Amino acid sequence: MKREYPIEDEWVSYELHPETPPGGMLLSERFQGRNLAPFYAGLKSRGNELGIVFREHTILSNSRLALLASEYARDKGKHDVFHENMFRAYLSRAQDIGRPEVVGYVAAESGLDEQEALAAAKDGRYEPRLAQAAKEGRLLGLTGIPLFIVNNQYQITGAQPVESFRNFLDKLQ
């Protein structure tokens, strides 16, 4: 599928839970009856392998504003740093990335003008990109992130241990 916008890397802004209300929702509501402790234990363990701190959340943020701002960052040549800072804000600092003040702070932290980033994220210009990413995700059968696609044929979904990637890539040789 040909993208309608240039992309220098293959990071695509994908909204995994578009049904999340604008103010977010409690994880206990979204994942009723599920014990999230084993999930967080695994995530923290994988993070330790890579030197990444993962904190537990109580809120599932609506990521739409953050994703729209990431497209603004892409156009300004700051997508990678914005993505990294947003990742840290959400997963390491457990901030609600659906809140404009958090998105604005991350934009400024990434070398972008906070007000311009928020205005661009809210004015609708990046909505077609998110719609296209959603279409691509449906075509791929995307169910989790991150999603790694190898040789346009194989998929690795989720935060997998480094050894899983090694084993997978060894099998391809």
Residues 91-127 pLDDT 10s: 899 999 999 999 999 999 999 999 999 999 999 999 9
Establish whether the linkage from the previous residue to 21 is cis, with ω within 30° of 0: no
The one-letter amino acid code at 126 reads Y
Note the pLDDT tens digit of each residue in 1-60. 444 444 445 566 778 888 999 999 998 898 899 998 888 888 888 888 878 888 888 899
CA 5, CA 22: separation in Å to the nearest integer? 26
How is residue 121 written in tokens? 């994220």
Task: Answer yes or no: is 11 within a domain.
Answer: no
Cα dihedral across residues 108, 99, 50, 81: positive or negative: negative
Phi then psi for residue 32, to 5 deg, are: -55, 135
Q: What CATH number does residue 84 fall under?
A: 3.40.30.10
Task: Answer yes or no: is 7 within a domain.
Answer: no
Q: How many domains does the chain have?
A: 2
The one-letter amino acid code at 64 reads R
**Range of weakest confidence among 63-67, 79-83, 147-151:** 147-151
Residues 159, 115, single domain; the answer is no
In terms of Cβ atoms closer than 10 Å to its own Cβ (0-12, 13-18, 19+), residue 72 is: buried
Instruction: Give me the helix-helix angle, 64-75 and 100-109, nearest 10°.
Output: 30
Q: Which segments within 27-172 are labelled E, that is strand?
A: 59-60, 147-150, 154-157
Residues 98, 159, single domain; the answer is no
| Domain encompassing residue 64 | 25-132
- Alpha-carbon distances, residue 98 vs 70, 94, 144 (angstroms): 13, 12, 19
Would you give the DSSP letter of residue 62?
-
Task: Answer yes or no: is 70 within a domain.
Answer: yes
Rounded to 5°, angle at Cα 88 from 112 and 163: 130
Residues 39, 81, single domain; the answer is yes
